[in-house]
Amino acid sequence: MCPPAIAAAITAAPALLAPSPAPAIDTARPGPVMGAPVGWIRAGTAAYRRAGLALFLAGFASFSLIYCVQPLLPAFAQSFSLSPAESSLALSLTTGLLAFSIVLAGAFSQMLGRRGLMFGSMLLAALLNLSAALAPSWHGLLVARALEGFVLGGVPAVAMAYLAEEIEPGHLGKAMGLYIGGTAFGAMIGRVGMGLMTEFTSWRAALAVLGVLCILSAVGFLLLLPRPRNFVPQRDFSLSFHLSAWAGHLRNRALLRLYGIGFLLTSIFVTLFNYSTFRLSGAPYHLSQTQVSMLFLAFGFGIVSSSLAGSLADRFGRRPLVLAGFLIMLAGVLLTMASSLVAIAGGVALVATGFFIGHSVTSSSVGRLASLSKGHAASLYLLFYYIGSSVTGSIGGWFWEHGGWVSIAALTGALALAGAILALGLPAPNESSRSDSCRSGASRPDSCRTGAHRGG
């Protein structure tokens, strides 16, 4: 028998495929011109609340599944007789495959649609998490985790594109902040819950429970998310179109700066959290699995800071917020150099706060700068973002094994300084945020003149 959640989704499928009520639109806005948006989802409407809750569930499910193994790395090392760098593959393979699948998802969502692709990705990833829980060997677990990362590519890039296409631009930062807040909540619950359940049961039981919870989240997402109004589907797959869109965005210097910032943000964040678990579970602290998992309660600061950052960026611009995010992360890294547990916890909280400020503002900026082929632009941002997690997160194992926490702090501190330098080059609040994608060849000149866009 299939689980009740899946059975409910199958039963409800015919109704979900029928036309749903249209989101509230801005009737004062001029009508569509040559493919321009027919109407935005406005803040304060029922459609806006449904979209926000649905994408909060998507963020929760996807990020809890991605990062649920982070507090389990010491347990994997003990269970399978692994080094810290080897155990980090349970996360690095997931984010590495995720990075490349996001690019593919951005292209195929043009044909498959936004909502269905996100739902399918969430459901398959949850089922693969159940498979990882049952895997008899380390290599079997790695295969399940790698496939999980690959199928999850349908969520982050498509969610960013959906928000950029459907939400009224003046409130995009707030809506993106809510989605990022969902990712923070999922990342926190996934990590803390894994630690708590592993302490009293086993890491296998913990992974299985999370898989079931994320199946329910996927069903809730499908029931809540309003159907896209401004997405223009392509029935025929055109490789040349996708290559042109990606190449155009990669020639856009403003977008390249954002991609570099995303790479640095996640490099610092994942590396520091990965090896904090090893530091605190070893001498002289010898914290238990439950005590180490409490470290990830720092993500609560991310839930608040991401929402606030989105609203502040709408008012004051991107540069000061992203710069502040990196400087807060740098202060947190320096604070973790202390030996006091209170100081380490405070430093971790600052790193989490700075990370979610920077990621919330940077990710919403991608959609604004890329007024054309938004899905392609978002997928490239997340490609760089997850490559940072995968590559630097694993390289950090070498630094940990050869230099301890001093080396980890030196690595992440240097990356934070590089990020602050990149942030200084972002447009000032009074500068235009219009994308130069038209000049870079990402779309047709007539589309640039009329403001039309093709969902990507």
Domains defined for the chain, CATH in brackets: 47-443 (1.20.1250.20)
Of 68-82, 393-407, 420-434, the range with the lowest mean pLDDT is 420-434
Name the nearest CA neighbour of 392 among 416, 412, 420.
412
- Read off the tokens for 255: 């977008």
Amino acid 311: pLDDT: 72
**Amino acid letter for position 399:** F
pLDDT for 98-110, tens place per residue? 888 888 876 776 6
Q: Are 357 and 306 within 8 A, CB to CB?
A: yes
Average pLDDT over residues 405-409: 96
| Percentage, residues of the chain above pLDDT 70 | 81
- Return all residues near 124 (Cβ < 8 A) that are at least 6 apart: 151
Amino acid 39: pLDDT: 75
Amino acid 123: pLDDT: 96
- Read off the tokens for 32: 């569509």
Q: Are 112 and 375 within 8 A, CB to CB?
A: no
Enumerate the β-bridge partners of residue 41: 167
- Return all residues near 184 (Cβ < 8 A) that are at least 6 apart: 59, 63, 299, 300, 302, 303, 306, 352, 356
Name the nearest CA neighbour of 80 among 6, 135, 154, 27.
135
Residue 4 has pLDDT above 50, yes or no: no
Helices and strands counted in the chain (H then E): 20, 0
Alpha-carbon distance of 442 to 249, in angstroms, equals 6
Phi and psi angles of residue 41, each rounded to the nearest 5 degrees, phi first: -80, 120
**Amino acid letter for position 433:** S
Amino acid 110: pLDDT: 67
With left for phi above 0 and alpha for psi between -120 and 50, is residue 20 left, alpha or beta?
beta
Residue with tokens 């001029």: 30
DSSP per residue, 120-155: HHHHHHHHHHHHHHH-SSHHHHHHHHHHHHHHGGGT
pLDDT for 6-57, tens place per residue? 333 333 333 332 333 333 333 333 333 334 455 788 878 888 889 888 988 9
Amino acid 38: pLDDT: 55
Q: Helix 89-112 and helix 46-67: axis angle, to 10°?
A: 140
Amino acid 257: pLDDT: 95
pLDDT for 349-359, tens place per residue? 999 899 989 98
